Amino acid sequence: MKTIGFFLFFICLSGTLHAQTKKTYAKPNVNFGCTFEDGFFEATIVATKGNQVEHFKTPVYIQGCQVLSIPTEKVPKDWWVLFPPTDIDDAGNTLIKAEKGIQYEVHLILP
């Protein structure tokens, strides 16, 4: 009977030691996400239509790391067009392909 008790004690002890020697690996904290908060950011914009080029500064509205709108007050009227939400990179740059063959090259002015 002592032998069975000793054997059971040894099995329990080895199971405990095995559990203590297991290594746990922490998953790296990968920071996916946008570096810009939602809101307006001042930007320089280079707009091209064919061989015409316009340069202007205006705030652009960003939400979820996408440029959603360019206010039209500072944009020449013949350059007002719709465009889909467009991703902006962590450096604050994007190329928006809009209607009527117009492209907006957006560069945020960062502090």
Largest distance between two CA atoms of the chain: 97
In the numeric block, which tokens belong to residue 93? 């740059």
CA distance 111 to 100: 33
Phi, psi at 83, each rounded to 5°:
-150, 155
Phi and psi at 39, nearest 5°, equal 145, -170
Q: Let me know if residue 73 belongs to a domain.
A: yes
Alpha-carbon gap, residue 76 to 60, rounded angstroms? 15
| 90 within some domain | yes
User: Which residues lie below 8 Å from residue 72, measured CB to CB, with a gap of 6+?
Assistant: 80
| pLDDT tens readout for residues 71-93 | 877 777 888 889 999 999 989 99
Report yes or no on 25 lying in a domain.
no
Q: What pLDDT sits at residue 105?
A: 96
Residue labelled with tokens 């199971």: 15
Give how many domains the chain has, as a whole number.
1
Domain membership of residue 9 (yes or no) is no
Within a domain: residue 72? yes
Q: How far apart are CA 57 and CA 79, in angstroms?
A: 14
pLDDT over 70, % of the chain? 69
pTM higher than 0.75: no
Q: CA–CA separation, 26 vs 14, rounded Å?
A: 25
| pLDDT beyond 50 at 107 | yes
Average pLDDT over residues 57-64: 93
The whole domain housing 65 covers 39-108
